[in-house]
């Protein structure tokens, strides 16, 4: 446990540095937004394309892992939404709470951390987890919010989903990389070096951006934030563990990566979606802040438990 904690500590230290920069106003909210945009569209996309293009297609695509992770994530999503309905919340607000309970910071935090902890073999499973989150659950929240507001699904809703997927650089870079890999075309040396240099900025930039963005998050609605953080940091990895270890034929290494990814804190893009649709941004903000702080201890615990198992 101590060894895992010490290995993950530098990642959280960079997040803490970003938090200080944002809190002290050394980095303004506008500067943080531009840094996040830069990382999202350039270094992270370069890293994802290079990883997926250099991996054999068979090492990336694993239907059993997709089904297992999807099942565990859908289960915790459903539990959070059900509890929200039992508290009398409307469908859009319940969808935001479900998103907080099920969607982790896989792109900005999980990919660099888990690939460093577990080696390059972890990249394929991590990208599958990221793809499930982006394609399935980012679409689901749009469907629930718009359907809940309009009382029905309209062609406009599906147009929004399609446009959102096509404009998401992480989805496009993973897809392009997998196509490149499937064609078995080697990446030219200069192109690979370019992607490597640009992608090298993804890890420190993403971690710093997480911290700087947390500086503007509020800790309101703490009771709800505690519940959603519990769902994300404890219930989600537990349900994914049941799925990958008992319900589906997932190899032990991929199962370890999926459970570790499920133990990541709430993703920052949940707040962006909540703020964009003006649906419960405060509770999303509090859940992101609290779960990120708590994950400094809970994430090493989960990874250490997986190591002993």
How many Cα atoms occupy the beta-carbon half-sphere of 122 within 13 Å?
18
Q: Where are the domains of the chain?
A: 2-308
Q: Check residue 120 and give its pLDDT.
A: 82
* CA pair distance 111, 130, nearest whole angstrom: 9
The predicted model gives 20-40 an average pLDDT of 91
Confidence (pLDDT) at 129: 93
pTM of this prediction? 0.86
Task: Write the DSSP string, 158-222.
Answer: HHHHHHHHHH-HHHHHHHHHHHHHHTTPPPPHHHHHHHHHHHTTHHHHHHHHHHHHHTT----SH
pLDDT in tens, 248-295: 989 999 999 999 999 999 998 888 888 878 888 888 889 999 999 999
Torsions phi, psi of 90, nearest 5? Answer: -80, 170
9-37 mean pLDDT: 91
- Report the pLDDT averaged over residues 37-51: 90
Between the two ends of the chain, the Cα-to-Cα distance in Å is: 13
- Which of 97, 133, 106 lies closest to 271, judged by CA? 97
Topology annotation, domain 2-308 = Na+/H+ antiporter like fold (1.20.1530)
Neighbouring residues of 298: CB distance < 8 A, sequence distance ≥ 6:
233, 234, 263
Instruction: Assess contact for 96 and 141: CB atoms under 8 A.
Output: yes
Of 60-74, 76-90, 154-168, 249-263, the least confident: 154-168
CB neighbour list of residue 31: distance below 8 Å, 6 or more residues apart: 212
- 105 pLDDT above the threshold of 80: yes
Query: Mean pLDDT throughout 140-147?
Result: 82
Q: For 200-227, what is each residue's pLDDT tens digit?
A: 998 899 899 989 988 877 666 688 999 9
Helix (H, G, I), strand (E, B) or coil at 266: strand
Dihedral sign, CA of 156, 158, 163, 164? positive
């Amino acid at each position: 446990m101590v060894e895992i904690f010490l290995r993950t500590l530098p990642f959280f230290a960079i997040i803490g540095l970003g938090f200080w920069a944002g809190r002290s106003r050394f980095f303004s909210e506008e500067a943080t937004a531009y840094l996040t945009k830069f990382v999202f569209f350039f270094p992270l996309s370069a890293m994802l394309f290079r990883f997926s293009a250099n991996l054999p297609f068979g090492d990336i695509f694993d239907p059993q892992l997709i089904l297992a992770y999807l099942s565990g994530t859908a289960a915790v999503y459903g539990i959070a939404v059900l509890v929200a309905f039992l508290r009398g919340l409307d469908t859009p607000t319940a969808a935001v709470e479900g998103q907080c309970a099920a969607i982790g910071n896989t792109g900005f935090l999980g990919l660099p951390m888990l690939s460093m902890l577990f080696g390059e073999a972890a990249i394929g499973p991590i990208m599958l987890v990221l793809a499930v989150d982006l394609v399935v659950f980012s679409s689901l929240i749009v469907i629930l919010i718009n359907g809940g507001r309009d009382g029905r699904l309209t062609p406009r809703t599906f147009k929004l989903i399609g446009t959102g997927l096509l404009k998401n650089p992480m989805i496009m870079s993973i897809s392009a990389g997998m196509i490149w890999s499937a064609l078995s075309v080697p990446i030219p040396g200069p192109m690979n070096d370019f992607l490597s240099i640009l992608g090298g900025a993804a890890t420190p930039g993403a971690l710093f951006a997480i911290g700087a963005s947390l500086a503007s998050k509020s800790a309101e609605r703490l009771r709800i934030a505690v519940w959603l953080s519990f769902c994300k940091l404890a219930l989600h990895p537990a349900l994914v563990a049941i799925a990958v270890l008992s319900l589906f034929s997932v190899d032990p290494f991929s199962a370890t990566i999926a459970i570790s990814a499920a133990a990541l804190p709430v993703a920052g893009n949940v707040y962006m979606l909540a703020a964009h649709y003006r649906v419960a941004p405060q509770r999303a903000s509090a859940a992101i802040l609290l779960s990120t702080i708590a994950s400094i201890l809970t994430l090493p615990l989960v990874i250490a438990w997986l190591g002993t198992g």
